[in-house]
Amino acid sequence: MAEKKPKYYLTTPIYYTNGLPHIGHAYSTIVCDTIRRYKRMLGYDVVMTTGTDEHGVNVERSARKAGVPESEFVAKMAAVWRETWDELGIQGDEFIRTTDVKHARTVQWLFRLCRENGYVYKGNYVGQYCIYDNAYVADAGPGDNCPDCGRPTETVTEENYFFKLSAFQNPLLDLYAKHPEFIQPEARRNEVLSFVEGGLRDLSITRTSIRWGIPLPGEESHVFYVWFDALTAYLSAVGGEHYERRGFWPADVHVVGKEIIRFHAVYWPAFLMAAGLPLPKQIWAHGWLLMESSKMSKSRGNVVKPRPIAHVLGMDALRYFLLREVVFGQDGNFSYDALVQRYNSDLANGLGNLASRVLTMIANYCGGVVPNPHEQGKLPERTHASDIATTWRHTLTDINSLYANYRFSGALERTWELIAEVDRFISLKKPWTLAQDATQREYLETILYDWAESIRLIVVLAHPVMPAATEKIWRQLGQNGPLGAQRIDALQWGQLKPGTRIGKPEAVFPRVEKSETIERMEAMEKEASQPAKAPASAAAGATAGATPAAQPTNNKIAIEDFMKVEMRVGQVHTAERVQGADKLLKVNVDIGGEVRQIVAGIAQHYKPEDLVGRKVIVVVNLQPRKLRGVESNGMIVAASVGPEGRPVLAGFLEEVEVGARLK
Ligand code: MSP
């Protein structure tokens, strides 16, 4: 029977969809992804949740400004967040959106439990509210600014449901005393302790002044306060009301930025206690990523986006930089200069250079096969192994314990010390001279083995931080199976098998020229900050991938122009995939007495069998054209949805006759 793995559940904060991801957000998420990968390599069954926080006044306003319904606005933004995480190698297991139906159900259920247990009452609220932080500002009067973000607060008067937070002062203090590890690091724990010791006021948890939110069943004029809504996402992602079935709740750790510790370490456990649900085991608050000494944030206008960096230097470079540079729990600085500097010194000249040097030597001196480490006693002098094996034994234990305590920067530093040590030994021993001397053969083979083995250990240890590059070096070392499946805690010196055929040595981190690289990233950053381009053409089919036709300058056409386009109701007779083109379907459509063959770019979203019999809208008077050698005689009309332009076929709610013209 397969071994039952222990479960581990961790979460990132869920991100506001009225903004786009910057590398401060990326930091939170990359940290969690690193923990997730590390825990997997320890044999845990891990679930990591990330997602988007989509309700509230800010979103309502941003959507209005963009002139689109809120649901459309948030769907586009959520897609960008998701894509960005994909590009950074982040393997979220659950992506929860607060607009998901299952989430709304969980929020309503949690409220019901709190109410049934007597912790909710109706009252009147008058106070100052910061719409940017989605928080009421205590002790503030009309016209005061928010003490956190410095922006003006707004006066709010409304009938709300209140949560009896005041009843939880002692239970929370007991929790912190009984579980000193609950809030990390120490500085944040002290901050929360003194806040709670100062007394807790009841908290209003519904709003009647906001429309865009989860409604309270039976009293739809109330929507839930964004933090009551958002925090519950951690629970809805792993089963909500039925959390026991999946067995991932309570969470092992919620990783958050330091400015949202209070919501997580005070409100969240209080809501859960009120509902009688298990509490998360730990809240870990990290520091901020600073840009020129102030917090990187949209409101300060000093943000750097992750995509240009990932595009120019690779996502592993960004991941490595953030985890190496920022000590977890403290603030850290970002600059392009420091990023490229570290890339060149630690990755190009460090790990990348070591791997290609050693692999090239094995290719040149040992026919591309990992040599045998010969017995120490028979060798002319001590090999590196006797020293390095000892060093490794300590290092492996140290690095595992650094990871276990989330000391990523320290773990990487220790690993890179080994890289430097092997580099030093190579320069000292000059293997290229040893290779000229037949009497040194066994010695040469032994030290080459030591170095190859060191690289194997280094890539396993660095894998949680740099998944892609380490996987490449792993293959170049001739290793099979996914690197992520290795047990990091079972790593030992000497497990590399002599006789393994290595792959082709290739540069994993090519050296870059600093100023040119910075210019490229800055140019991409600038371009990405331009106002969004107009949505893509709203048609799928024969025009897929084609450039949109030139528009008249005032963007309007005369009715005669419109009438030139002949659109008819069609019915799909047959549909099949086009060989060798994963986006294209060949569809035969009856357009009323004539069957047309049309090639449509919808194969990734529609199965051929689901189309047969379906009524569609066809542009019938387009010039025929060939796509992948298959003639297309018309175009099927579809909406282009989301930033990725997912096609959604247009259709009719009423019965329509095949062949009818659209006017
Ligand atoms: N939506 C809330 C969280 C709800 S969790 C139930 C929120 N969203 S946020 O988009 O503003 O921020 C999300 C996370 O990104 C927070 O943990 C925040 O600390 C982090 N960061 C935002 N800017 C940051 C830096 N400059 N540096 C490091 N982390 C930063 O708050």
For residue 135, how far is its CA from the centre of ligand 1 (angstroms)?
A: 14
Predicted local confidence at residue 558, as pLDDT: 66
Nearest C-alpha to atom 24 of ligand 1 is from which residue? 24
For residue 256, how far is its CA from the centre of ligand 1 (angstroms)?
A: 7
Name the nearest CA neighbour of 33 among 606, 576, 467: 467
Q: Which residues pair with 595 in a beta bridge?
A: 590
For residue 63, how far is its CA from the centre of ligand 1 (angstroms)?
A: 21
For residue 520, how far is its CA from the centre of ligand 1 (angstroms)?
A: 27
Nearest C-alpha to atom 15 of ligand 1 is from which residue? 25
Nearest C-alpha to atom 7 of ligand 1 is from which residue? 15
For residue 631, give the 3-state DSSP assignment.
Answer: strand
For residue 226, how far is its CA from the centre of ligand 1 (angstroms)?
A: 14
Q: Which residues contact 653 (CB under 8 A, 6 or more apart)?
A: none
According to DSSP, residue 483 is labeled: G
Nearest C-alpha to atom 9 of ligand 1 is from which residue? 15
Nearest C-alpha to atom 10 of ligand 1 is from which residue? 15
Nearest C-alpha to atom 12 of ligand 1 is from which residue? 15
Pocket test for ligand 1, best of 12, 52, 53 (most atoms within 8 A of CB): 53
**pLDDT tens for residues 248-272?**
999 999 999 999 999 999 999 999 9
Pocket test for ligand 1, best of 14, 17, 28, 50 (most atoms within 8 A of CB): 28
Question: Within a 10 A sphere around the Cβ of 208, how many other Cβ atoms?
Answer: 17
Single pTM value for the model = 0.79
The pair of three-digit structure tokens given for residue 7, joined into one six-digit string = 């479960």
Nearest C-alpha to atom 18 of ligand 1 is from which residue? 257
Contact of 330 with 290, CB cutoff 8 Å:
no
SS (H, E, C) 43-90: CCEEEEEEEEECCCHHHHHHHHHHCCCHHHHHHHHHHHHHHHHHHCCC
For residue 288, how far is its CA from the centre of ligand 1 (angstroms)?
A: 9
Ligand 1 atom nearest to CA at 289: 27
Ligand 1 atom nearest to CA at 230: 6
Predicted local confidence at residue 411, as pLDDT: 97
Q: Which residues form ligand 1's pocket by a CB distance below 6 Å?
A: 13-16, 24-25, 27-28, 53, 230-231, 233, 256-257, 259-260, 288-289, 295-297
Pocket test for ligand 1, best of 260, 292, 298, 335 (most atoms within 8 A of CB): 260
For residue 29, how far is its CA from the centre of ligand 1 (angstroms)?
A: 10
Kind of pairing between the strands at 567-577 and 585-590: antiparallel
**CA–CA separation, 79 vs 92, rounded Å?**
14
Backbone angles phi, psi at 279, to 5 degrees: -95, 150
Ligand 1 atom nearest to CA at 255: 17
Contact of 172 with 165, CB cutoff 8 Å:
no
For residue 145, give the 3-state DSSP assignment.
Answer: strand
For residue 14, how far is its CA from the centre of ligand 1 (angstroms)?
A: 8
Q: Which positions of the chain have pLDDT values less than 50? A: 532-555
Predicted local confidence at residue 474, as pLDDT: 97
Query: How remote is the C-alpha of 144 from its chain's centroid?
Result: 36
Nearest C-alpha to atom 19 of ligand 1 is from which residue? 257
Predicted local confidence at residue 283, as pLDDT: 98
Predicted local confidence at residue 2, as pLDDT: 61
**CA–CA separation, 61 vs 154, rounded Å?**
14
For residue 246, how far is its CA from the centre of ligand 1 (angstroms)?
A: 27
Contact of 247 with 9, CB cutoff 8 Å:
no
Nearest C-alpha to atom 25 of ligand 1 is from which residue? 24
Cα distances from 23 to residues 80, 298, 600, 612, 624, in angstroms, run 14, 11, 38, 46, 47
Pocket test for ligand 1, best of 23, 25, 226 (most atoms within 8 A of CB): 25
For residue 310, how far is its CA from the centre of ligand 1 (angstroms)?
A: 20
Nearest C-alpha to atom 5 of ligand 1 is from which residue? 13
Q: What angle do CA 387, 391, 397 make, to 5 degrees?
A: 155
Ligand 1 atom nearest to CA at 53: 1
**pLDDT tens for residues 396-450?**
999 999 999 999 999 999 999 999 999 998 998 899 999 999 999 998 999 999 9
Predicted local confidence at residue 429, as pLDDT: 87
Name the nearest CA neighbour of 16 among 47, 57, 49: 57
For residue 81, how far is its CA from the centre of ligand 1 (angstroms)?
A: 13
Cα distances from 3 to residues 44, 217, 403, 409, in angstroms, run 11, 44, 24, 33
For residue 104, how far is its CA from the centre of ligand 1 (angstroms)?
A: 22
Predicted local confidence at residue 337, as pLDDT: 96
For residue 260, how far is its CA from the centre of ligand 1 (angstroms)?
A: 7
